[in-house]
């Protein structure tokens, strides 16, 4: 076997390190029965490494390249050009050139060939790298082939390739380049075939694009393409484009554009029979590779030849059901305001926490609502609750109901649907003592947990946690707790409906809920203002905090004037709220107590933007506005016919909102507090396993499910390969966008706002906190990078409770994900911030720094000139 050249027939998918992604896939593709692949060979990565070794100066430039950021475009361009010139200037050693020309002779020494780059980080399941390196078509003759091989090696360092690697975290030194040389195909038509719909993700729909001539015209955008969709062996959609240009091989070598005569411009590139045959071949390729494929094909002499097949990297995975039945899944993350992927330990804890079974896909959790959606008895409740919380979920579910052939036919019987732990709410007295009692019981339960878990380790620890999870579920889904939450929600709904009908007042409950008592999440944001008050008088402390580098800064503070007071204030805040953090429903995510440096930018922002006593003033202002609104509304009601009755009813509901609205945030606070106690105990156990050499590092436990970790602790053995695979999978999940509603066909069902009250050009969303505000948009995806000024409007993907400290510094809120009772909405109402949530693609459609107007009462956002 040659070290430098391998025939395609010698290659399979396991050889990517030797022949790159493209070469490995082509070799594997050539093994699929009934699939034609143009003959060819690969120049291996060993040849690339040998050539690079001839240029020691490349090493220094690679060091400099690795230190750049994707936005350093000028430096990337200059350094990349230097490396390319160096590589192109190296003469290919004689023995290597002889191997390449020898393989070329087997194709026909003067045969026209395609010379194609094949990097080792190309066509991966998690990153395609498509189009990042160079391809040369219709190249003939040994000298020309050798020259193009050298250019392919150099193309590893084009600006676009280097930038792509930097963006995706690939080490430049670890990416090697192979080159594929294949006999050229001169097709009548070419194109791409996706064995799943790349837009919706539907695995049962094949999507085909076709042009006359070479497929490069489609890739480069020179030619319009015909589009076809195939399902169940038939063409279900077609759009024939006006094709005015095609790309063909040139007699002089390379390619050239050719005009298409008027008589052919509107003719389809493929017949329906050819489309169906191509889709059938695509299914054969997909079955061989075991996942949906992005396939490049050519049609010559009425035979399809395939010149590439790579995994479609953008599809969201489908939950495994195993029974072949149609299913409809609803995203848990969109309800919990955490659409990022979760690690396996986090997934298993959340599944053990909630009473309803959940499916997994792409590191996210989904609830199967097929039966509830199919049954008329439960459907109305499901649509009312989920649609009321998130209209886009509601609309997507209605879309599925309208597809009469998808859902099973179930009788109109059975219980109505209710949220997990819910059910029909029973009356509860409007008494603040009820909330105080519920909070006291939760606090006592967590205090007992902290006392008892200290003595547990090994198997006893895991047994204890399993038992305590039952206690947590008892507390979390205590009927009286659920009644208190529902009482506040139902009272707010009653007020909004009745006061709009009686007085024309929209979303009145939003103002009435401001500064409600017992809202532990809004209190957290105000308490951080008090921390700023303790720090603001001490200039040396402020200066020190501006340059904090690691988590030890709290221990260093006492050495600075005023530092002891600052440290005590921060620690007191952490004692109460330090178990929280971004993505807190995932037990594996860092907590503020573990990374207090994440608080520093928010504290400094509060020092800069506010004066002493801001927390108390803010709370009192909200309370005053709520009381004034109550007086105003009751006065207006009394002036109506039957006004005394209406005012009396409204007063009862206002009291219920004030009594119970704040408690909505407490159960999750209690759950997260419990999670942190579990995590601390499990990390101690992980430390023991790491010291014993069982684990490479403590954090490896995050990539094991609870029962798997329990077994590791019992046996002192871990499957390192499984941990590595889970880490790789988790990294890949971060690039995926989870759908609100997903089917067993893999289709991400998009809902829509079907409204006619949104001005042209405005962005529709869900109104969750009344009022209107205009200001500068700050588009922030990472809370640690927030740099807010007074008057800014926060625009982000989602907010969980950890974002609350930022709310004190903003005037309005816009999120892509959210519902009426999700945390961002609750806190926005508490603080009196106009807010619109569920605005699709808000972080892309609104640019950082633009002026926008948020219509929190009517539910839309305007981008201003």
For the chain, where do the domains classified as CATH 3.50.30.10 start and end? 763-863
More confident of the two residues 88 and 677: 677
Longest dimension (CA), the chain: 101
What residues contact residue 565 under an 8 Å CB cut-off, 6+ apart? Answer: 534, 538
Question: pLDDT digit string (tens) for 200-212?
Answer: 999 999 999 999 9
- In the 3-class helix/strand/coil scheme, how is 753-811 assigned residue by residue? CCCCCCCCCCEECEEEECCEEEEEEEECCCHHHCCCCCCEEEEECCCCHHHHHHHCCEE
Q: Using DSSP bridges, classify how beta strands 810-815 and 792-796 pair: parallel, antiparallel or unpaired.
A: parallel
Q: What is the pLDDT of residues 130-139, one digit of tens each?
A: 445 788 999 9
Q: How is 495-511 classified by DSSP, letter by letter?
A: HHHHHHHHH--TTHHHH
Q: What is the pLDDT, as a whole number, of residue 377? A: 87
CA distances from 136 to 96, 144, 181, 685 (A): 20, 10, 10, 56
Give the confidence band of 179 by pLDDT, cuts at 50, 70, 90. very high
**What homologous superfamily is domain 1-184 in, according to CATH?**
ATP-grasp fold, A domain (3.30.1490.20)
Q: Could you give the CA distance from residue 397 to residue 406 in angstroms, rounded to a whole number?
A: 12
Amino acid 81: pLDDT: 87
Confidence at residue 619, expressed as pLDDT on a 0 to 100 scale: 96
In contact, 393 and 330? CB cutoff 8 Å: yes
Q: By mean pLDDT, which of 35-44, 158-167, 542-551 is the weakest? A: 158-167
| In contact, 560 and 541? CB cutoff 8 Å | yes
**Mean pLDDT computed over 55-59:** 76
CA-CA-CA-CA torsion for 771, 773, 777, 783, nearest 10 degrees? -50
What is the spatial distance between Cα 795 and Cα 844, in angstroms, rounded to a whole number? 10
pLDDT at 132: 53
| Tens digit of each residue's pLDDT (9 = 90 or more) over 326-358 | 999 999 999 998 999 999 999 999 999 988 899
Q: What pLDDT is attached to residue 786? A: 83
- Comparing 166-180, 279-293, 370-384, 465-479, the range with the smallest average pLDDT is 166-180
Q: Is the pLDDT of residue 29 over 50?
A: yes
Q: How many CB atoms lie within 10 A of CB 505?
A: 21
* CA dihedral sign, ordered 343, 344, 346, 347: positive
Supply φ then ψ for residue 488, to 5 degrees. Answer: -65, -45
Q: What is the mean pLDDT of residues 409-425?
A: 57
pLDDT of 1: 52
Tokens encoding 298: 């050519």
Taking Cα atoms as reference points, which of 126, 116, 125 lies closest to residue 289? 125
- pLDDT on residue 126: 45
Q: What is the mean pLDDT of residues 49-65?
A: 81
Helix (H, G, I), strand (E, B) or coil at 788: coil
Give me the catalytic one of 547, 823, 841, 855. Answer: 823
Tokens 């411009």 sit on residue: 265
Measure the CA–CA gap between 583 and 578, rounded to whole angstroms: 14
Q: Average pLDDT in the 733-761 region?
A: 94
Give phi and psi for 795, each to the nearest 5: -120, 120
Range from 71-85, 102-116, 387-401, 756-770 carrying the lowest mean pLDDT: 71-85
For 370, other C-beta atoms within 10 Å of its C-beta total: 20
Which residues of the chain form CATH 3.30.1490.20?
1-184
Pairwise CA distance, residues 685 & 148, whole Å: 57
pLDDT at 73: 84
User: What percentage of the chain carries pLDDT values higher than 90?
Assistant: 77
Helix, strand, coil percentages for the chain (3-state, nearest 5):
50, 15, 35
Active site annotation includes 823? yes
Separation CA 532–CA 606 (nearest Å): 6
Whether residue 128 is predicted with pLDDT greater than 50 in this model: the reply is no
Sign, Cα dihedral of 55, 60, 61, 63: positive
User: Which residues are CB-neighbours of 87 under 8 A, at least 6 positions away?
Assistant: 51, 52, 55, 58, 150, 153, 154, 157
Please, what is the end-to-end C-alpha distance for the chain in angstroms?
66
- The structure's pTM equals 0.89
Residue 583 has pLDDT above 90, yes or no: yes
Question: Is beta strand 810-815 parallel, antiparallel or unpaired with respect to 835-837?
Answer: parallel
Strand partners, 305: 36, 298
Please tell me the distance from the alpha carbon of residue 858 to that of residue 203, in angstroms, as a whole number. Answer: 38
Which of 141-150, 346-355, 405-414, 771-780 bottoms out in mean pLDDT, i.e. has the lowest? 405-414
φ/ψ (deg, to 5) at 484: -65, -45
- Calculate the alpha carbon distances from 463 to 467, 477, 713, 743 in Å: 6, 22, 12, 36
Least confident of 258-267, 297-306, 808-817: 258-267
Spatial distance between the Cα atoms of 70 and 119, rounded to a whole number of angstroms: 20
DSSP class of 30: T
Residue 307 has pLDDT above 60, yes or no: yes
Per-residue pLDDT, 560 = 95
Q: 635: part of which helix (H) or strand (E)?
A: helix 614-638
Of 4-8, 152-156, 629-633, the least confident: 152-156
C-beta of residue 736 within 8 angstroms of C-beta of residue 482: no
**Contact criterion met (CB below 8 Å) for 92 and 150:** yes
Please give the average per-residue pLDDT across 31-43, as a whole number. Answer: 96
H/E stretch holding 852: strand 851-855
Reply yes or no on whether the pLDDT at 417 is more than 60.
no
If you average pLDDT over every residue of the chain, what do you get?
A: 92
State the CATH class of domain 763-863. Answer: alpha beta
| Bridging pattern class, strands 234-239 and 359-361 | unpaired
Nearest-angstrom CA–CA distance, 270 and 827: 57
Half-sphere CA count of 797, side-chain side, radius 13 A: 14
- Mean pLDDT within 307-312: 94
The correct answer on CATH 3.30.470.20 for the domain covering 185-315 is yes
Strand partners, 779: 795
Whether the per-residue pLDDT at 416 is higher than 60: the answer is no
């Amino acid at each position: 076997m040659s070290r430098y050249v391998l025939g395609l027939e010698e290659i399979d998918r396991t050889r990517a390190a030797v022949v790159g992604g493209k070469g490995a896939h082509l070799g594997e593709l050539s093994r699929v029965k009934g699939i034609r692949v143009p003959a060819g060979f690969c120049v291996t990565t060993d040849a690339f490494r040998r050539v690079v070794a001839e240029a020691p100066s490349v090493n220094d430039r690679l060091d400099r390249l690795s230190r750049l950021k994707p936005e350093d475009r000028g430096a990337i361009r200059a350094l990349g050009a230097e490396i390319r010139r160096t590589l192109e200037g190296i003469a290919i050693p004689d023995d290597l050139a002889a191997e390449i020309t020898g393989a070329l002779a087997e194709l026909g020494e003067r045969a026209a060939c395609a010379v194609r780059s094949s990097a080792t980080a190309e066509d991966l399941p998690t990153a395609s790298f498509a189009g990042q390196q160079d391809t040369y078509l219709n190249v003939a003759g040994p000298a020309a082939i050798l020259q193009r091989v050298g250019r392919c090696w150099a193309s590893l360092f084009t600006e676009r390739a280097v930038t792509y690697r930097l963006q995706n975290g690939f080490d430049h030194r670890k990416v090697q380049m192979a080159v594929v040389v294949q006999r050229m195909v001169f097709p009548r038509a070419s194109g791409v075939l996706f064995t799943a719909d790349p837009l919706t993700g539907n695995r049962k729909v094949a999507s085909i694009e076709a042009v006359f001539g070479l497929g490069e015209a489609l890739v480069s955008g020179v030619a319009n393409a015909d589009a076809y969709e195939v399902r169940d062996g038939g063409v279900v959609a077609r759009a024939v484009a006006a094709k005015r240009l095609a790309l063909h091989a040139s007699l002089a070598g390379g390619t050239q554009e050719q005009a298409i005569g008027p008589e052919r411009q509107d003719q389809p590139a493929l017949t329906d029979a050819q489309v169906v045959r191509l889709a059938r071949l695509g299914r054969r390729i997909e079955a061989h590779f075991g996942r949906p494929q992005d396939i490049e094909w050519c049609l010559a002499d009425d035979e399809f030849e395939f010149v590439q097949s790579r995994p479609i990297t953008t599809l969201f995975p489908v939950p495994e059901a195993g029974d072949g039945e149609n299913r409809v899944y609803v995203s848990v993350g969109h309800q919990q305001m955490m659409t990022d992927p979760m690690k396996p330990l986090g997934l298993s804890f959340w599944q053990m926490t909630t009473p309803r079974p959940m499916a997994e896909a792409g590191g996210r959790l989904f609830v199967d609502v097929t039966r509830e959606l199919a049954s008329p008895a439960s459907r109305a409740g499901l649509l009312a609750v989920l649609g009321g919380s998130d209209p886009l979920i509601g609309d997507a579910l209605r879309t599925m109901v309208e597809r009469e052939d998808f859902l099973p036919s179930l009788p109109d019987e059975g219980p109505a649907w209710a949220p997990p732990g819910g059910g029909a709410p029973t009356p509860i007295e409007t008494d603040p003592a009820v909330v105080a009692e519920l909070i006291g019981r939760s606090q006592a339960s967590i205090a007992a947990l902290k006392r008892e878990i200290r003595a547990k380790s090994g198997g006893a620890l895991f047994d204890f946690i399993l038992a305590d999870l039952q206690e947590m579920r008892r507390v979390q889904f205590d009927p009286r707790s659920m009644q208190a939450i529902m009482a506040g929600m139902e009272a707010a709904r009653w007020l909004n409906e009745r006061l709009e009908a009686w007085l024309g007042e929209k979303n009145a409950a939003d103002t009435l809920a401001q500064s409600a008592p017992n809202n532990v999440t809004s209190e957290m944001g105000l308490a951080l203002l008090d921390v700023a008050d303790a720090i603001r008088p001490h200039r040396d402390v402020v200066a020190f905090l501006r340059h904090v580098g690691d988590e030890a800064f709290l221990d260093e503070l006492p050495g600075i004037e005023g530092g002891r007071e600052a440290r005590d204030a921060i620690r007191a805040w952490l004692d109460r709220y330090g178990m929280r953090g971004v993505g807190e429903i995932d037990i594996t995510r860092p907590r503020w107590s573990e990374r207090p440096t994440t608080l520093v930018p928010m504290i400094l922002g509060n020092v800069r933007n506010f004066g002493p006593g801001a927390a108390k003033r803010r709370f009192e202002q909200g309370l005053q506005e709520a009381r004034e609104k109550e007086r105003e509304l009751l006065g207006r009601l009394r002036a109506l016919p039957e006004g005394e009755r209406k005012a009396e009813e409204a007063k009862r509901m206002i009291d219920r909102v004030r009594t119970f609205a704040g408690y909505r945030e407490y159960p999750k606070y209690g759950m997260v507090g419990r999670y942190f106690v579990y995590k601390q105990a499990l990390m101690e156990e992980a430390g023991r396993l790491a010291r014993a050499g069982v684990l490479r590092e403590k954090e490896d436990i995050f990539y094991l499910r609870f029962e798997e970790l329990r077994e590791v602790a019992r046996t002192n053995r871990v499957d390192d390969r499984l941990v590595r695979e889970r880490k790789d999978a988790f990294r890949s999940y971060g690039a995926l966008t989870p759908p609100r509603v997903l089917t067993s066909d893999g289709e991400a069902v998009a809902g829509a706002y079907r409204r006619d009250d949104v001005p042209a050009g405005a962005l529709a969303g869900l109104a969750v906190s009344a009022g209107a505000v205009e200001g500068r948009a700050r588009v922030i995806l990472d809370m640690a990078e927030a740099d807010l000024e007074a008057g800014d409007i926060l625009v982000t993907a989602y907010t969980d409770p950890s974002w609350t400290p930022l709310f004190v510094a903003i005037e309005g809120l816009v999120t892509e994900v959210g519902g009426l009772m999700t945390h961002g909405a609750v806190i926005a109402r508490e603080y009196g911030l106009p807010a619109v949530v569920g605005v699709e693609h808000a972080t892309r459609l609104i640019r950082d720094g633009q002026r926008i107007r948020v219509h929190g009462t009517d539910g839309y956002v305007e981008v201003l000139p």
